[in-house]
Structure 1
Amino acid sequence: MDAIRFSSPPRHEAAEALRHEVRAFLAETIPARTPLARSDSWNGYDRDFSRKMGARGWLGMTWPKQYGGHERSAFERYVVVEETLAAGAPVLSHWIADRQSGPTLLRFGTEEQKGRVLPGIAAGETCFCIGMSEPDSGSDLAATRTRAVRSADGWRITGTKIWTSNAHNADYMILFCRSGDSTPADRQAGTSQFLIDMKNTPGLTVRPIIDLAGQHHFNECHFEDALVPAGALIGTEGQGWQQVMSELAFERSGPERFLSSIQLIVELIAALQGSDSDLARAAIGRLTAHLIVLRRLSRSVAAMLEAGENPALHAAIVKDQGALFEQAIPDIARSLIDAEPDRAATSNYNAVLANIVLNAPSWSLRGGTREILRGIIARGLGLR
């Protein structure tokens, strides 16, 4: 069995200095945001907040200046992401674009695509969604059935994407689909990615999917002979699998993979004030230790990104272990405090508990199911 090693992330003085600046900005910008709203983590949508982030230079931070970026380090970007998540800031308007869609275009996109789209992301003006998952295929992206066919006027796309977060608000989607032939032995072949204009693509229909919490984050995106221009192809035809694997490494590695439940920990500690329970002290101690370890692993992935290395395997580990941590928190909380989850409750703890209980089941699905991730990890260990 091969060992998987996480290097020790170095201390980055500029990043730690930035942390104080970000905290001051958040204290000034979102002081009235309720604990319930903060517990929605990165599902909070606010275009104005994203524009303020862009104005501070905190989006597209590691990108070249010629595309609106700021050429700062991956560690500085990590601090901004971590602090906004910990504060429960409404980051969804820029989240996907800054985290993965922008870096994908930066690496694989044409000069026209980069020049047209990246500055808007860095300014907090441009919002993206992800066109990966499909009905009946789950996290098996190689089973994609959405197909793009060349035509005289561009590409004609037919198929359906599902669980597409924020598609109803997004300006663009990066769509993963089949553009050529594959074989049972190589299902990843013949795939490509396209830059889809969500506002101006004839034949594209976005339908809402309401989740267990009664909220509208998810959507079904149906392409019916939808026409996109020839210039919508990202990179070269047939490069889709390489692109999507690179994109997923960005999606799986960040602190959002262990901070989605952080507001419940905050409210749990507040609710336990004055308690003399050894059980409670032990539980909070274990949660804190797990959080420290996950943060250490995630910062190691940031170090790999800074060094230009491929963090796909390490990111899968962070995502898998982060989901386990996040989904355990509501059960631990309920074992310590006998309170009924209720989003409409006046008690911050009860309302946040309800929100986390309703949303937590999805956290082992987003970014790849647990089974898919553990298959990736097993291959990294040389077990399959």
Structure 2
Amino acid sequence: MKTLEFPAPPPRAGDEDLRREVRNFLESRLEGRSPLQRAESWNGFDRQFSRELGQRGWLGMTWPRKYGGHERTAFERYVVMEETLAAGAPVAAHWIADRQSGPTILRYGTEAQKEAILPKIAAGECTFCIGMSEPDAGSDLAATRTRAERQADGSWRVNGTKLWTTYAHEAHYMILFCRTSGSPADRHKGTSQMLVDMRATPGVTVNPVLDLMGQHHFNEVHFEDAILPAGSLLGTEGEGWAQVMGELAFERSGPERFLSSIQLLIELIGALQGAGGEGGRNAVGRLFAHLVTLRHMSRGVAALLERGDDASVHAAIVKDLGATFEQELPDIARSLIDEEPDLASTSHFASVLAYTTMAAPAFSLRGGTREILRGIIARQLGVR
């Protein structure tokens, strides 16, 4: 069986200077934001906040300056991500674009695509959505049935449906994973990625999908004879599977995989003050140990990305373990504090517990189900 290394990033004093700068900004900018609002960090949509990050050079941090980036390290970007998530900042307006869509365009896009889109992302002015999941396919991306057919004039005619598309109703662009040849039986072969202008493409319909709390973050996106310009192909036709695997490495590896429920841990520690006893202290100690381990592993992925190494399997491990940690946290909190979850409660613990409990089922779905992830991990380790 193979082994995997999660290298420790080298100590860098400059990173901690950046951390203090980011932390001071967030403390002032997010003053008055309630614990429940902080718990909604992933889904908090605030274009002005994203613009402010862009103005400070905290988006597109590792990209070349010619595309609006700042040529900083993956470790510096990690610091900004970690601090914004830990503070419960509203990140949804720039989240997907900065994390994965931008790096995918930087790696595979044409010069025209890079020049047109990347500076807008770095400025916090451009929102992306992910066109991967489909009805009846779950996390089996290779089963995609959405099809793009090249027309005589070089354009592409798209038909199909994408599901669970976060903030498609707010997005400027989508990176669409689709089939350009063959059939779903061909699995990885014949797939490609397309850039879709969500504001100017006739034939694209976005229908809301409400979550357990009645909130509108998810969508169904339907393509009916939607025509994409000839320059919409992202990367190489037929290489969509390899490209999307690289994109998922960015999606699965960051601190969001264990910090999206951090507000509940904060409220739990507060609720246990003076009342938790030895059992409470032991439980928090175990949770903290898990958190530190996940952070070390996630920073290890950042080190691999900084070196230019393939981090897809390492990212899958972080995502799987992080989702397990986050899904177990509400049950642990309920076992320690005799308080019913209630979104409308004046108790910060009860309201945050209610939100996290209802959000938790999606933690093992977003970015790939654990069954798919564990298959990827098992193949890499040589046990499948």
Distance across 2 between alignment mates of 1:297 and 1:72: 21
> What is aligned with 1:141?
141
Contact 1:182/1:188, CA 8 A, preserved across alignment: no
Distance across 2 between alignment mates of 1:324 and 1:61: 30
Contact 2:98/2:121, CA 8 A, preserved across alignment: yes
Encode CA deviations 1:239-291: one digit per residue, 9 max, x unaligned.
Answer: 11111000000000000000011000001111111125111000000000000
Distance across 2 between alignment mates of 1:379 and 1:299: 23
Q: Which amino acid aligns with 1:165?
A: T
Contact 1:62/1:71, CA 8 A, preserved across alignment: yes
Contact 1:127/1:171, CA 8 A, preserved across alignment: yes
> What is aligned with 1:171?
172
Deviation (angstroms), 1:295:
0.1
Distance across 2 between alignment mates of 1:212 and 1:41: 17
2:304 counterpart of 1:335: no
Encode CA deviations 1:44-74: one digit per residue, 9 max, x unaligned.
Answer: 1000000000000000000000000000000
2:241 counterpart of 1:280: no
Distance across 1 between alignment mates of 2:19 and 2:340: 36
> What is aligned with 2:364?
364
Distance across 1 between alignment mates of 2:82 and 2:236: 34
> What is aligned with 1:218?
218
Distance across 2 between alignment mates of 1:86 and 1:74: 18
2:342 counterpart of 1:316: no
> Counterparts in 2 of 1:1-384, with a 5 A limit?
1-153=1-153, 154-181=155-182, 184=185, 186-275=186-275, 277-384=277-384
Partner secondary structure for residue 275 of structure 1: coil
Partner secondary structure for residue 192 of structure 1: strand
What's the TM-score, normalizing by structure 2? Answer: 0.99
Partner secondary structure for residue 157 of structure 1: strand
* Runs of 4 or more above 3 Å deviation: none
Contact 1:129/1:173, CA 8 A, preserved across alignment: yes
Give the CA RMSD over aligned residues. 0.9
Structure 2 residues without counterparts, runs of 5 or longer = none
Q: Which amino acid aligns with 2:360?
A: A
Q: Which amino acid aligns with 2:119?
A: P
Structure 1 residues without counterparts, runs of 5 or longer = none
Partner secondary structure for residue 93 of structure 2: helix
Deviation (angstroms), 1:182:
5.1
**137 and 276 in structure 1: CA distance in 2 versus 1, 3 angstrom threshold:** closer
Partner secondary structure for residue 133 of structure 2: coil
Paired residues in the alignment total 383
